[in-house]
Amino acid sequence: MKVCRAKTAGFCMGVSLALQKLNSALEGSSGRSKSAEPPRICTLGPIIHNPQVLAEYESRGVACVNEASQLRPGDVAVIRAHGITRQVERQVFESGATVVDATCPKVKKAQLSIARATSNGATLLLFGEEDHPEVRGLISYASGPAHVFGNADELAALHLDPAGTYVLASQTTQDREIFTGIRESLSSSLNNLAVLSTICDATRERQQEARNIASKVDVMVIVGGRQSGNTRRLADVAALSGIATYHVESAEELETANFTNKSQAGLTAGASTPKSLIDAAEAWLSSL
């Protein structure tokens, strides 16, 4: 089978930077004198959304804690790439742990942009997944009321006051085309709307490449963690082309029967997917 692999597949800048910071923390711990007890290296929630990467760091002794109250003085606390809420961040600094902020720079920029834009008490309208850790962090920076919506129906259910003051923003990994439609719709119905450009360019590039590849192949394979929002959206984008699309976490989940009578496969991966997993999927497809 011929495989068309996306050039943008795999780690984005934010993920690479977060893992570099975690690796540096581990190296700093192992470099201490043998007589000194090494600090515990912790992440505030999963550092990224990829189970294989998380398992590797767990095997290296990294502890994943979900609450700041689980931190102890002397720990090294690495803030996850998705960021955390303002309230949790305060608790982390008060814990006595050494803090390493591995929040993606694009997420941090979105947080600060929301803080500035809502400083007058404007209502935040955030396009994203309500339960996603990045979204929880973003809305914590809003000075006024905040509403999260995942689609047009949820937005319509908010019954917004046309005379109100609003700020529209997005989770950094959302679909830019859908966001553009939402922006145009709200701009025509609200008198006072400020729009923030918070969707990451890497997300846009990956989604566009997925669309382009899907238009030329018989089947699409998306590799990445099921908890990864940007990976799920790549699968959604590919599926909209009308061809069979398979979202898998590893090549072991691929089934030969799904590729019968297919001659060309498209392959891409989420921004938190290691190259080794993409390589393995490409090798599997190429062997058919």
Name all domains of the chain by residue range, CATH numbers in brackets. Answer: 2-10+202-287 (3.40.1010.20), 13-103 (3.40.50.11270), 106-199 (3.40.1010.20)
**Arithmetic mean of pLDDT over the chain:** 94
The confidence score (pLDDT) of residue 142 equals: 98
Could you tell me what percentage of the chain is helix, strand and coil, using 3-state DSSP and rounding each to the nearest 5? 40, 20, 40
Element (H, E) at 146: strand 146-149
Share of the chain above pLDDT 90, in %: 91
Q: Annotated binding residues, as ranges? A: 12, 49, 82, 104, 132, 172, 200, 228, 230, 272
CA 44 from chain center: how many Å?
15
- In one-letter notation, the amino acid at residue 226 is R
pLDDT at 36: 64
- Residues annotated within a binding site for isopentenyl diphosphate: 49, 82, 132, 228, 230, 272
Q: Residue 268 pLDDT more than 70?
A: yes
Please give the sequence-ordered ranges of beta strands (E in DSSP) within the chain, or none if there are none: 2-5, 41-44, 63-65, 76-79, 98-101, 123-127, 146-149, 165-170, 192-195, 219-223, 244-248, 264-269
Catalytic residue ranges: 134
Is residue 35 pLDDT above 60, yes or no? no
The structure tokens listed for 10 are 């795999």
Mean pLDDT over residues 25-43, rounded? Answer: 77
Mean pLDDT of 159-164: 94
- Please compute the mean of the pLDDT values over residues 143-169 and round it to a whole number: 95
Binding-site members for dimethylallyl diphosphate are: 49, 82, 132, 228, 230, 272
- Which parts are annotated binding residues for [4Fe-4S] cluster? 12, 104, 200
For the CA atoms of the chain, what is the radius of gyration? 21
Distance, CA of 225 to CA of 280 (rounded, Å): 15
pLDDT tier for residue 30 given thresholds of 50, 70 and 90: low
Residue 38 pLDDT: 82
pTM value surpassing 0.75:
yes
